[in-house]
Amino acid sequence: LCNCGIREGAGSAASGNNVRIMRYADVLLMRAEIELMMDNTPGCIEFINRVRRRFGMFEYTAANYSDAEAFELLKKERELELMGEGSRFNDLKRWGILAETLNPEFQAKYGTQPVNASHYFFPIPQGELDTNFGL
Q: Give the separation between CA 6 and CA 96, rounded to whole angstroms.
A: 42
Written as one letter, the residue type at 57 is M
Q: Give the separation between CA 101 and CA 98, rounded to whole angstroms.
A: 5
Residue-level pLDDT at 9: 56
Residue-level pLDDT at 17: 74
Q: Give the separation between CA 82 and CA 23, rounded to whole angstroms.
A: 9
Q: Computed from CA positions of residues 56, 61, 62, 67, in that sequence, does the dihedral angle turn out positive or negative?
A: negative
pTM above 0.85, yes or no: no
User: What is the pLDDT of the chain when averaged over all its residues?
Assistant: 88
Q: Is the per-residue pLDDT at 7 higher than 60?
A: no
pLDDT tens per residue, range 16-34: 777 767 889 999 999 999 9
Cβ neighbour number for residue 49 with a 10 Å cutoff? 20
Is the Cβ–Cβ distance between 8 and 14 less than 8 Å?
Answer: yes
